[in-house]
A and B are shown apart, each in its own frame.
Chain A
């Protein structure tokens, strides 16, 4: 027994002594940024996690990019924005002269052609986004007399054509395909419905799509100022600044790179982020919990060391109503616009924002965020109004005839009760939202049955319109988002993302006009009318757009915060002189 106690004490003291937690050396020119989860790979085409564009901002370059301050597109690798032909089908680009790959060779249009081929080829593993590009880019024309010039041929006139390259990360042809295996792969082949793969192509693509090209740091090459030097899966990714980068003397703000190293640290849990900020273990994060940030802001030591803010952003959450149920599995609750309007009056949006987000959220009237310049501000927000809702429901014929406090109506010869399912992907926040909606609706005699499910089932049901009311959300960005996918009528019948069945020929034509209109006035007008129509028809009850919570350490200058994700530009961070000479705290 005594022997046993001795052993135990020995082990415990070993444990205690072995742990000395040092404070981070704040004089180092290293930015430690927080990301929430491990990206599923950093392949230039084949991955689609949210972290990807955050990291690629530093290691890759595109032809044009979105300026975070003006929210307009500016040229990045191109000399200027493209010249557009009269018919809107030809886009002429010219590349900058000073761009060099890591091995010293110049960037040419051949690289662009190669990049686009890979982006739209059916043999690349990017099925989930390929359609966005292969439906737009028909061909790339090169000019032998000027290796920096090329023309993109588009399939149709569309307002997004000039900026199609903003998410296409340019790859080096001589690096990936030195033997020219893909030289005989033409655009015609790629677009042909009977695409036949040759063996050499398949072999090449098998190697290209291999997981090593997603994870091995030495293979993750690009034109950006930083190179991935280390990747500990699930823990962190380290990017080191390149020496002699081609853009070192550039004046453009997006080419100002100060940190020697950027470490993307993965922290999955909110409490850990909170503690890391307390102990100054992080330099920048856009994912701290709302209540945690409030707590931190109460302390002087936090405010002395960090800039922090709640910023608006473009994504939003909504409650969708099934406007076109099949009548059998899903009953006809929301076919009458009055009923949908009543639902909008019954969802306690302000209360939800107050409770769930501590008030840190904003509202919007229709599908555009109120940050966008084409936001239709003539439309008024729909307020919580139980009496008005009851009146609308009465007018629509839903009255409680059998005294059980649930309204009912004769539909197709049967008595139907206004008692329906509210489907949502199960999470703590959705559950609270659903329960608050349920309580609010009960006051007007509407019975809501919360129906949580896991994500895949939820998405499947949404696409198959197997829901009555559902809670969902859409991501967004400052750039124009094509309303086709969400609001066109063909997106409803073909299991697209028009879950609720909104739309008719008029709204379809508005969408077509908005997409094709190069003239900004025409475009704005169409978007305004579309918003008004969505507002009128009320397929969604638009709920809220949560604010982004950002914290940046005060040891850096240029710590500007932006609406567009991720909210800051890490490589602009300049270490202040006062910190450079600090000795680490004991």
Chain B
């Protein structure tokens, strides 16, 4: 009688948990998300808590809220001392008690005494309160070394997690949704199986042209102005709504014309449209698209994620299409069709889990490659603004000085962890969702 309470989701989760490596990977992913969220607490050159001249401060937390916080204390001589939290050198102050962040460095401040690519294994220097240069106390060591200007690498990695995770997930998210959807359509329906009345077909074609005209053509200048003012995404969304509205409207309109020659059912060669579209898109070198777009729009991470996503979906679509070509001939799909399930349900419920195996691998690698693409983009000066730290920008630092192996090893290791866990989670998901592996 358990069948009545059987939930596929719960079952899948149970299966997933059985896969040890997938589970560990999931935990690591959660850990990474944690690091991303709490980066300013984990790596900061301001103390988390300190007591100075009788007053307590929580500088790391205060600057989270107000980045230019200034406070003042009265010292013994009665003189007021101004402390601007993000500029003050807290180590120089005579603090009564202090709790430092686990990594006591901010990613954007250069440590003057450890410039010129200091290795994590080298001697590191430090200027103590008596103004002497001594060996660095182990609490303040740069555990992953520094770059040319003296910026701490560990801190950079921590702060870069946020963007690198986002880039990977968002870019691949967009690519997957578009890719799987279009690939499934193309593979499953091919050129002969998607039927619709001729009127609807013609109206849809006209509709596409009109939709783009009114959604983008006419709104060209409104969109450009909106992007430079910051509310670009809203205007883009409105354009999107207009396009959908026109398409839907015209398709509904076509119902009035369902007679005679216009009413005949024709097959829409959707595979040709999608495959040719993929071919055209693939002929464009990504670089040229990005240079063109980035010249028009303001630099921002969101733009880069969208661009990487929009140029990466074709691979996923191709895989999905190939799998669907194979699957649609399989018996159980034919069976589902004959049972009267509509085409869409047949696809979604039965075909998709089978088709997903190579897609998951694609996605897992796609995340890592999105991070690497972001790295070469920032090398070219497109992408995240220069004062934002990402794993990709750290890799670029390693480009200039080969002997600074730590600048490539550690971010490379971070990327390695990312691919591995995504791959394992992907595999775990696939195994969990595959009905044939039911035990």
Contact = CB atoms under 8 A, between A and B. Distances in A.
**Co-complex (A, B):** yes
B381 A452 contact: yes
B83 to A, nearest CB: 12
B387 A432 contact: no
A439 B399 CA distance: 23
Interface stretch (B108-116, B252-260, B347-355): B108-116
Interface residues of A, number: 28
Contact of A435 (B68, B108, B116, B381): B108
Given A291-B401, A435-B386, A405 B84 contact: yes
Given A435-B149, A439-B109, A454-B291, A425 B381 contact: yes
B435 to A, nearest CB: 34
A425 B379 CA distance: 11
B387 A450 contact: yes
Interface in A386-416: 403-406
A356 B147 CA distance: 12
Interface in B91-119: 108-110, 115-116
A8 interface: no
Nearest to A271: B402
B295 interface: yes
Contact of B396 (A428, A434, A436): A428
B242 interface: no
Given A426-B380, A434-B386, A450-B387, A457 B295 contact: yes
Interface string A417-442: 00000000111100110111011001
Contacts of B295: 453-454, 457
B81 to A, nearest CB: 16
A435 B149 CA distance: 10
Nearest to A452: B381
Interface string B390-407: 000000110111100000
Contacts of A404: 68
A439 B116 CA distance: 18
A355 interface: yes
B68 A428 contact: no
B364 interface: no
Interface string B419-437: 0000000000000000000
A443 interface: yes
A109 to B, nearest CB: 49
B397 to A, nearest CB: 8
A442 B381 contact: no
Interface string A442-460: 1100000111111001000
Contact of A428 (B87, B115, B387, B399): B399
Contact of B115 (A355, A405, A426): A355
Given A403-B70, A425-B381, A426-B380, A439 B110 contact: yes
B382 interface: yes
Interface string A75-90: 0000000000000000
Nearest to B66: A404
A458 to B, nearest CB: 9
B385 interface: yes
Interface string A229-266: 00000000000000000000000000000000000000
B17 interface: no
B115 A454 contact: no
B380 A454 contact: yes
A356 B379 CA distance: 17
Contacts of B51: none
Nearest to A460: B295
B148 interface: yes
A177 B116 CA distance: 59
B387 A438 contact: yes
Contact of B381 (A271, A443, A453): A453
- In which size bucket is the chain B interface? 20 to 34
A355 B380 contact: no
Interface string B172-215: 00000000000000000000000000000000000000000000
B297 to A, nearest CB: 12
Contacts of B402: 271
Contacts of B379: 426
Contacts of A428: 396-397, 399-400
A452 B70 contact: no
B387 A435 contact: yes
A449 B298 CA distance: 13
Contacts of B108: 435, 439
B82 to A, nearest CB: 11
A425 B381 CA distance: 8
B87 to A, nearest CB: 6
A44 B284 CA distance: 36
B122 to A, nearest CB: 16
A290 to B, nearest CB: 11
A554 B225 CA distance: 62
A200 B308 CA distance: 52
Nearest to A431: B386
Interface in B19-77: 68, 70
B148 A426 contact: no
Interface in A526-574: none
Highest count of chain B CB atoms <10 Å: which of A405, A438, A443, A450:
A405
A291 B400 CA distance: 10
Contact of A452 (B115, B149, B386, B397): B386
A454 B387 contact: no
Contacts of B148: 355-356, 432
Contacts of A452: 381, 386
A271 B291 CA distance: 28
B383 to A, nearest CB: 10
A280 to B, nearest CB: 21
B385 A426 contact: no
A436 B84 contact: no
A268 to B, nearest CB: 14
B70 A454 contact: no
A404 B116 CA distance: 33
Contacts of A434: 386
B149 A432 contact: yes
Given A355-B148, A403-B70, A442-B87, A454 B386 contact: no
Contacts of A431: 386
A227 to B, nearest CB: 39
Nearest to A438: B387
A436 B401 CA distance: 19
A355 B400 CA distance: 13
A537 B139 CA distance: 49
Nearest to A425: B381
Nearest to B117: A291
A386 to B, nearest CB: 11
A450 B149 contact: no
Contacts of A271: 402
Contact of B70 (A355, A405, A426, A451): A405
Nearest to B295: A457
Interface in A279-314: 291
A425 B380 CA distance: 9
A427 B397 CA distance: 11
Highest count of chain B CB atoms <10 Å: which of A355, A449, A457:
A355
Nearest to A442: B87
A568 to B, nearest CB: 27
A453 to B, nearest CB: 6
Interface in B125-159: 148-149
A356 B109 CA distance: 16
A461 to B, nearest CB: 10
7 contacts: A355-B148, A355-B149, A404-B68, A405-B68, A428-B396, A438-B387, A452-B386
Interface of B: 68, 70, 84, 87, 108-110, 115-116, 148-149, 291, 295, 299, 379-382, 385-387, 396-397, 399-402
Which 7 A-B pairs rank lowest in CB-CB distance, beginning with the nearest?
Answer: A426-B381, A405-B68, A452-B381, A450-B386, A404-B68, A431-B386, A428-B400
Given A436-B149, A439-B110, A450-B385, 10 more contacts: A404-B68, A405-B70, A405-B84, A426-B380, A428-B399, A431-B386, A438-B387, A443-B87, A449-B387, A452-B381
